[in-house]
Amino acid sequence: MRRFNTTGLCVPDQDYMVDISDKIRRIKEMVDRGDYFTINRARQFGKTTTLSQLGKALFNEYICVRTSFEGIGDEPFEDPESFCRVFLKLIQQALRYSSAGEDTAYIDHWFDDTVTGFQQLGDHIGRMCRGRKLVLMIDEVDKMSNNRVYIHFLGMLRDRYLARKEGMGFTFQSVILAGVYDIKNIKLKMINEGVYSAAAAEGKLYNSPWNIAADFTVDMSFKADEIMTMLRDYEDDWHTGMDIEAVAEGIYEYSSGYPFLVSRICKLIDERFERDWSGEGLLKAVQYLVRQEQNTLFDDIFKNLEAFPDLYQLIYDLLISGKGNEKNYSAGDPVVSWALMFGFVNNKDGKIQIANRIFELLITGYFLSKDVRRQDTKTVGGVFKYDVVKDGRFDMELCLRRFARHFRQVFSKDDAAFLERQGRLVFLSFLAPLINGEGFYYIESETTDAQRMDLVVTYGREEFIIELKIWRGEAAHRAGYEQLAEYLRRKGRKEGYLLSFDFRQEDNREKREEWIALSAPGGGEDLRVFDIRL
């Protein structure tokens, strides 16, 4: 019986898998053209499984040399000779499982102990590839990227490729390198790991040894209709009665098709939450994933945030500090490049935004827990969960009224400077313990800026939309109504909440706690908004 697999290579007859045949077809077209290219995606984005499926699709037409640098990443390789010997051994091993596996004499000839440098290695590759179509696929290439010889290895492959283009040599039909780190970021990784100083890395290493690479534009994330192919296979086995389309769309809404997250949500529903494929079961799986799960992907996220302070600040600005709308995509910005490479963000219409809802939930919680621990100033308390939860339902209006009452008791005009910077953090630290265990919240990074933040709170089966704003006058407040109305329309909701922080002198403030009616954008039924001003 098949299962949902999140711990390595997925195999069709053992694991439930999304149908990626169209992606494989597009990658094969690149191989047919003789392209050399890289598949750079974040951790657990399906790279290894994709190479496996590609190898099967190419088996009858090409000799696929599929190997990995996973096991040799710790080798020092201080000289080309040691690298060449290991590389040729890897080629031999891979060929035994290729379409040339019966040709033992050919496989034996691949290892040549007279090859002691990259010029000789290139010549040897030319001899062995003559009259044959070999495709070299190397997984986990970034395991070797802290070795200087790797740069020269790439340069050799480039030189052979260019010689072939000129009709002056033979080499692999196609070379595919898969890993997290983009080739152009190898220098940055080497500097970070102390292999090179910034000064030593200038010059030859600054220029990419892989500038022959074709653009790899295949979208390896899963769309909702692709997720449905996996769920249909599952449903054929288990007959749960799930609404396949609704479940696939729900999974996509939270994961944006990140392969590991898609499979992990499914695995949690199947194995931990008793095959509850309802909307409630999906929410339970997501809540468990972001609150209790420990896995290597999340470990990598936290590790990279802490290892790269500029990256930490970029993501913090997108989610917390209100500078998100200032972050334009720039191909030349190394911090943005790292955020894209690690899978933290996407480029959407020239703006960068957090890659998926689960990352928003996970990283926001991480930032806020650290901020709250560091906070040595006043916070709002005095409200307990049983005050705002009645018969399993969360009373958001009462929650906001209680927050306002205690906020006014705790803070004074002397705190205005602090609150203008951290007012939203004060509210979120107040809200978190009240929904803990039954709900969660996330910040819409796309709409976060210095003056507003859209917050979505989920509790049980209910969802609440709250806009947090700093008071900037009546005109800006009316604009806030319009912004919230448009966001409610996009989310398909009829009610929302507007919480404004007013930092003017006490005599100029107009406290407000009331429901108001707003016209729906584009017509239709009026919307209701609870307008509360502090």
What CATH number is associated with residue 81? 3.40.50.300
Percent of the chain that is helix, strand, coil (3-state, to 5) = 50, 15, 35
Whether the pLDDT of residue 201 is over 60: the answer is no
Looking at the structure, tell me whether residues 383 and 349 fall in a common domain. no
Checking if the pLDDT of 194 tops 60, the result is no
Residues pairing with 517 in the sheet: 528
Residue 526, number of CB atoms within 10 A of its CB = 12
The dihedral of CA 265, 269, 271, 275: what is its sign? Answer: negative
User: 168 or 324: whose pLDDT is higher?
Assistant: 168
Is the separation of the CB atoms in 146 and 189 below 8 Å? yes
Half-sphere exposure of 359 (CA within 13 A, CB side): 29
Whether 345 and 407 map to the same domain: the answer is: no
Band (pLDDT 50/70/90 cuts) for residue 199 is very low
529 in the same domain as 384: yes
The pLDDT of residue 526: 87
Asked if residue 493 belongs to a domain, the reply is yes
In a domain, 391, yes or no: yes
Q: What is the pLDDT of residue 310?
A: 92
pLDDT for 203 equals 45
- Please give the average per-residue pLDDT across 368-391, as a whole number: 76
Same domain, 284 and 307: no
Q: What's residue 445's pLDDT?
A: 66
Per-residue model confidence as pLDDT tens digits over 104-113: 999 999 999 9
Q: What is the mean pLDDT of the chain?
A: 87
Co-location of 516 and 494 in the same domain: yes
* Burial classification of residue 34, based on how many CB atoms lie within 10 Å of its CB (0-12 exposed, 13-18 middle, 19 or more buried): middle
Closest CA to 256 of 285, 220, 293: 220
Domain assignment present for residue 16? The answer is no
Q: Where are the beta strands (DSSP E) in 30-158?
A: 36-40, 63-68, 134-139
State pLDDT tens for residues 29-86: 999 999 999 999 999 999 999 999 999 999 999 999 999 998 776 666 778 999 999 9
- C-alpha span between 193 and 319 (Å, rounded): 28
Residues with Cβ < 8 Å from 192, sequence gap 6 or more?
A: 307, 308
Give the 3-state secondary structure of residue 116: coil
**Identity (one letter) of the amino acid at 59?**
F
What's the pTM value of the predicted model, to 2 decimals?
A: 0.86
DSSP 519: P
Residue 332 shares a structural domain with residue 284? no
- Out of 242, 264, 291, pick the residue that ends a domain: 291
pLDDT above 80 for 393: yes
**Enclosing domain of residue 344:** 296-354
- For the ranges 29-38, 208-217, 379-388, the lowest mean pLDDT is seen at 379-388
Q: How confident is the model at residue 2 (pLDDT cuts 50, 70, 90)?
A: very high
> Which pLDDT value is given to residue 450?
60
Q: Does some domain include residue 2?
A: no
What Cα–Cα distance (Å) separates residue 343 from each residue in 45, 56, 302, 353, 427? 9, 27, 13, 11, 29
Going by pLDDT thresholds of 50, 70 and 90, the confidence category of residue 323 is low
Asked if 401 and 454 sit in the same domain, the reply is yes
Cβ atoms of 266 and 16 within 8 Å: the answer is: yes
Report the C-alpha gap between 457 and 440 in whole angstroms: 6
- Residue 274 in this model has a pLDDT that exceeds 90: yes
Each residue's pLDDT tens digit, 139-178: 998 887 666 788 889 999 999 999 999 999 999 999 999 9
Are 407 and 520 part of one and the same domain?
Answer: yes
> For residue 378, what pLDDT is reported?
60
Residue 7 has pLDDT above 50, yes or no: yes
Is there a domain that residue 215 lies in?
no
How confident is the model over 111-137, as pLDDT tens digits?
A: 999 999 999 999 999 999 999 999 999
Q: Is the pLDDT of residue 195 over 70?
A: no
Which pLDDT score is estimated for 504?
72
- pLDDT attached to residue 93: 96
- Check whether residue 105 and residue 202 sit in a common domain: yes
Spatial separation of the C-alpha atoms in residues 10 and 24, rounded to whole Å: 15
pLDDT interval class at 382 (50, 70, 90): confident
| 190 shares its domain with 127 | yes
Q: Is residue 368 part of a domain?
A: no
Query: Does a structural domain hold residue 32?
Result: yes
* pLDDT of amino acid 142: 83
Are residues 192 and 144 both part of a single domain? yes
Distance between CA atoms of residues 443 and 466, nearest Å = 10
What per-residue confidence (pLDDT) applies to 322? 63
**What pLDDT digit, counting tens, does each position of 439-494 carry?**
888 887 666 666 677 888 989 888 999 998 888 888 888 888 888 998 898 888 99
At 202, the pLDDT band (50, 70, 90 cuts) reads: very low
Has residue 243 been placed in a domain?
yes
Note whether 281 and 300 are same-domain residues. Answer: no
Question: How many domains in the chain?
Answer: 4
The two three-digit tokens of residue 524, written as one number = 């239709």
